[in-house]
Amino acid sequence: MNRLQTFYGTSIGKKIVVAITGVIMYGFVIGHMLGNLKAFGGATALDQYAEMLREIGKAFLGHGTFLWIARIVLIAAVIGHVTTVILLSRINSASQPTRTIRRRNASTLAAKWMAISGTLVLLFIIIHIAQFTLGWITPHASGTTGFETGMVYSNLWGAFNIWYVALFYVAMMAMVCLHVYHGAWSMMQTFGLDAPDRNALIRGSAAAIAISLFIGFSAVPIAMLTNAISKPPAMDELQSADASAIQIEVIR
């Protein structure tokens, strides 16, 4: 424990913690984006995928336990990342005595941008979990069913059929991806992997991953808003039931 404390007490120790927790979140975000693309296979494909995540390790751990372990690791990574970034920025401010010098420091601008985008990403994650995991915030278009646990596809469909919800998600995905891009670049510097002859390649790869994430994440809200992918079956039934009710009224 003492060794760990001494390691964390140094600036480089903190930077390594930021980088490792960043890698964990990076992995989650890539996996989450790929999982979301199951929506293009239809409601059953996405809902079955969500259920499959809850069934990992079921035989040994029970239903949903593995997912909870993954959630705990993710929450610990987010907390570790955010608190260590705050501690590091305090150390940086203390080592730059005057405001003028701080303003002149080019890296301060990047750090400021990371702080602003990071805060917005954190706020997004809180709203996002309250919406799609907990069902506490449930904006949904008229004629769609509200939030129902396990009905991932129709929950998304209802929300993204409101234009400003879809727009909010696309805008937040731009924020997430810019944060991820800058984060990947500074992580390479932390690990000393940057070098003049490699920097163009590293920056290019970080940009390619960030752009792919943006396209992959934004595709679902856009496809649902524009009806480019199929309506959830439950909503088709709901709408045909509504239509029959109207017909009955007309006949009467």
- Binding site residues, ligand HEM, CB under 6 A: 29, 32, 36, 50, 67, 71, 121, 125, 128-129, 132-133, 152, 156, 169, 173, 176, 217, 220-221
Provide, rounded to whole angstroms, the least separation between the CB of residue 86 and ligand HEM. 19
- What is the nearest approach in angstroms of ligand HEM to the Cβ of residue 249? 36
Task: Kindly tell me which of 91 and 215 has the beta carbon lying closer to ligand HEM.
Answer: 215
**Nearer to ligand HEM (CB atom), residue 12 or residue 126:** 126
In DSSP notation, the chain reads -HHHHHHHHSHHHHHHHHHHHHHHHHHHHHHHHHHHGGGGG-HHHHHHHHHHHHHTTHHHH-TTHHHHHHHHHHHHHHHHHHHHHHHHHHHHHHHS-SHHHHHH-HHHHHHHHHHHHHHHHHHHHHHHIIIIIS-SS----TTS----TT-HHHHHHHHHTSHHHHHHHHHHHHHHHHHHHHHHHHHHHHTT---TTTHHHHHHHHHHHHHHHHHHHHHHHHHHHTT-SPPPHHHHHHHHHHHHHHHHHHH-
88 versus 170: smaller Cβ distance to ligand HEM? 170
In angstroms, what is the minimal distance from the CB of 130 to ligand HEM?
10
- Which one, 115 or 241, has the nearer CB to ligand HEM? 115
Q: CB nearer to ligand HEM: give 37 or 108.
A: 37
Minimal distance, residue 29 CB to ligand HEM, in Å: 5
